Amino acid sequence: MALLEVKDLSIHFGGVKAVQNVSFSIDAGIVYSVIGPNGAGKTTLFNLITGVYKPTTGEIRLDGEAIHGKSPNELAERGMARTFQNLQICMNMTAVENVMVGAHLRLDRNLFKAAFRLPALRRRDAEVREEAIQLMQFVGLEAYVNERADAMPYGALKRLEIARALAMKPRIIFLDEPAAGLNPKETIEVDHLVRKVADAGITVVLVEHDMKMVMNLSDRILVLDYGKKLAEGTGEEIRNNPDVIAAYLGTHA
């Protein structure tokens, strides 16, 4: 059974059919990419799967269980984490505190609050911090642990978001344009980081415009065009698909 199954998924915003009857499934442990021109519905698809939007029609299943209509919090508890196309970092907090927010989202809220009061539970706060520091090392940000987020370069913030998502201990992580706005060197670093995340056993769903990165990392690729599924397959299949070449690669590559 696939880890994630999406069936006939649609959402309409007034007259805009942002996602239309899209179906696909993702096996556990793979890197699955979603590509398509701007406005194709990639971010909307992520918002549907992660519970930000409720679908107009269709089904989403995680491990066979229907999850459409569940809140982002419930889905996080079931092992979903994501990053955002537009950075959502708390700029007035330190880097490590931002990562700790991810762990906070995973842990029992009341216990976490209590951790600030009760000495026995304060240890847990220390554990969360230690875990967050380890994740910062994992994403290559050990130099920034106590730096305020607003003093960090953009490329580092993109990786900080990935660290925060990893702090939720996800089974499946959704990365929305993790290399957008990065220079070639930073893009290669993110490429390597995504590989590391996948090697750690986390299923990766990636939206990215950098075709080299997509072709390099992806086990399978879904191509969206005007909210519809245009094609799905391996990198090789997608590269040679005439519809894809006409609609997307032809204009970009």
Ligand X SMILES: Nc1ncnc2c1ncn2[C@@H]1O[C@H](COP(=O)(O)OP(=O)(O)O)[C@@H](O)[C@H]1O
**Residues interacting with ligand X, by CB under 6 A?**
13, 16, 18, 36, 38-44
Query: Encoding tokens for residue 52?
Result: 């930000």
CB of 164 to ligand X, least distance (A): 21
Burial 83-101 (b: 16+ CB within 10 A, else e): bbeeeebeeeebbbbbbbb
Secondary structure of residue 34 in the 3-state scheme: strand
Using CB atoms within 10 Å of the CB of residue 248, give its burial: 0 to 12 exposed, 13 to 18 middle, 19+ buried: buried
CB of 226 to ligand X, least distance (A): 9
If phi > 0 it is left, if psi is from -120 to 50 it is alpha, else beta; for residue 14 that is left
Nearer to ligand X, 11 or 103 (CB): 11
Instruction: Write out the H or E segment, with its range, that includes residue 233.
Output: strand 228-233
CB of 204 to ligand X, least distance (A): 17
CB of 41 to ligand X, least distance (A): 4
Those residues with Cβ within 8 angstroms of residue 33's Cβ, 6 or more apart along the chain or in another chain: 205, 206, 207, 208, 214, 217, 218, 220, 221, 222
Nearer to ligand X, 48 or 96 (CB): 48
- Among ligand X, Mg ion, none, the one that 39 touches (CB under a kind-dependent 5 to 8 A) is ligand X
Secondary structure of residue 187 in the 3-state scheme: helix
Residue at token pair 């925060």: 164
- Among Mg ion, ligand X, none, the one that 16 touches (CB under a kind-dependent 5 to 8 A) is ligand X
CB of 190 to ligand X, least distance (A): 18
Nearer to Mg ion, 97 or 218 (CB): 218
Q: How far apart are CA 220 and CA 249, in angstroms?
A: 16
Residue at token pair 């910062």: 136
Chain positions contacting Mg ion, by CB under 5 A = 42-43, 85
- Among ligand X, Mg ion, none, the one that 40 touches (CB under a kind-dependent 5 to 8 A) is ligand X
Query: Encoding tokens for residue 210?
Result: 């950098």
Nearer to ligand X, 43 or 98 (CB): 43
Nearer to ligand X, 86 or 92 (CB): 86
- Among ligand X, Mg ion, none, the one that 13 touches (CB under a kind-dependent 5 to 8 A) is ligand X
Nearer to Mg ion, 9 or 99 (CB): 9
